[in-house]
Amino acid sequence: MRISCDDILQAMTHVRPLVAATPQYRWPLLNDALGCDALVKHENHAPTGAFKIRGGLNYFAQLATQGAQRGVVCATRGNHGQSVAMAGALHGFEVHVVVPNGNNREKNAAMRALGARVIEHGSDFQAAREHASELARTHGWHQVPAFHPALVAGVATYAWELLTSPNVPDVVYVPVGMGSGLCGMIAARDALGLRTEIVGVVSAHAPAYAHAFFSGVDTEAAAETRLADGLACRRTDPDALAMIRRGASRIVMVSDDEVASAMQLLFACTHNVAEGAGAASLAAALQEKKELRGRRVGIVVTGGNVDSRTFADVLGRDAALAEAA
């Protein structure tokens, strides 16, 4: 799959009316912690609190011209579903989203507020995805995939903003769920003809893409992360894997504990809230901080949709440890 410069600029015409360019800031305290010059791309400031809305706007702008069924369904842990709900409603579609049982309640509420019908099914994203396929077949609904060229081109607009900034990063860390965010970065980098190194970040507790990156074979692995639900992919997508292996330099795995520490640090240094998946990029940069000295580093905070109780627990970890000591 190839995404051209024209594809991204065309997507921008669908994205920009509703999504202003998100901030990208240098934070002195964060730079001190990393020991390098870091630029944070704040996709947590997007209208749905995550980068996914960019892909949804481009996807539905195209779908609306194709005479598709007005009923659509997708599987999600929350951010993709919010994108589909918002963009689908904008074009007059009836949106159904399938989430795993026990999914983030605040993300479920946000999707309902955007007009979607939320259906709980299965123990993880893959089970929800299979149920969404069954519902699509049964009801004749259009199934919105988690990975598609139109989604990648839309998502690539965030990367375009970052990579056309005055000081282009030497290396960028991007979290990986189903792969659209990382592939969007690869597409923008290649379209611009840059040499920026792109590093994918997966949860050590959901390592399917890491294993597949090394083996070159589509892989299934347990997705057991407790904190980074946006990275809880059990099975890789072949098109995403091919693009990632072609364009990323490596995959870094981060633990839930490392993600929690990154969420704490990001809040302490910038007062920004990141969900687990959104903080994974910072967790990877911290893991590799010795190799980053003297380099300009891009940190993509892909989303901030963490539920209140989880975030309170994460911020309270240090205090609990101090009291125990």
CA distance linking residue 98 with residue 117, whole number of Å: 9
Query: 260-319, pLDDT tens digit by residue?
Result: 999 999 999 999 999 999 999 999 999 999 999 999 999 999 999 999 999 999 999 875
CA 127 – CA 101 distance, rounded (Å): 10
The span from the first CA to the last CA of the chain, in angstroms, equals: 54
| pLDDT tens track for 31-73 | 999 999 999 999 999 999 999 999 999 999 999 999 878 899 9
pLDDT band at 323 (very low <50, low <70, confident <90, very high): very low
Report the distance separating Cα 158 and Cα 105, nearest Å.
27
The residues facing 128 across adjacent strands are none
- The residue type found at 295 is R
Mean pLDDT of 222-242: 94
CATH topology match: 5-50+149-318 vs 52-143? yes
Q: CA–CA separation, 58 vs 195, rounded Å?
A: 27
CATH class for domain 52-143?
Answer: alpha beta
DSSP class of residue 141?
A: P
Could you tell me which residues are beta bridge partners of residue 292?
none
pLDDT exceeds 90 at position 80: yes
Helix axis angle for 5-15 and 149-163, nearest 10°, is: 90
Which pLDDT band holds residue 89 (cuts at 50, 70, 90)? very high
Is 96 a residue whose pLDDT tops 80?
Answer: yes
Q: Which residue has the tokens 């003297």?
A: 294
Query: Position 140: which residue type?
Result: G
Q: Using one digit for the tens of pLDDT, what is the confidence trace for 130-160? A: 999 999 999 999 999 999 999 999 999 999 9
For the chain, the domains span 5-50+149-318, 52-143
Which of the four pLDDT bands, split at 50, 70 and 90, describes residue 320?
A: very low
Asked: is 5-50+149-318 a CATH 3.20.20.100 domain? The reply is: no
pTM of the model: 0.95
Q: What's the CA gap between 83 and 48, in Å, rounded?
A: 7
Which pLDDT value is given to residue 322?
A: 37
Q: Is the pLDDT of residue 202 over 90?
A: yes
Q: Are 164 and 192 in contact (CB under 8 A)?
A: yes
Nearest to 282 by CA among 259, 305, 307: 259
Check residue 1 and give its pLDDT.
84
* Amino acid making up residue 257: D
Distance of CA 192 to the CA centre of its chain: 22
Q: With 70 as the cut, is the pLDDT of residue 325 above it?
A: no
The rounded mean pLDDT for the chain is: 95
Residue of 144, 49, 152, 51 lying closest to 94 (CA atoms): 144
What pLDDT shows up at residue 212?
Answer: 97
pLDDT at site 251 = 98
Q: In whole angstroms, give the CA distance from residue 106 to residue 89.
A: 20
Strands (E), the chain: 24-25, 37-42, 71-75, 94-99, 117-120, 142-143, 171-175, 197-203, 250-254, 296-301
Q: What is the arithmetic mean of pLDDT over 203-217?
A: 97
When pLDDT is averaged across residues 149-177 and rounded to a whole number, the result is: 97
Confidence at residue 321, expressed as pLDDT on a 0 to 100 scale: 40
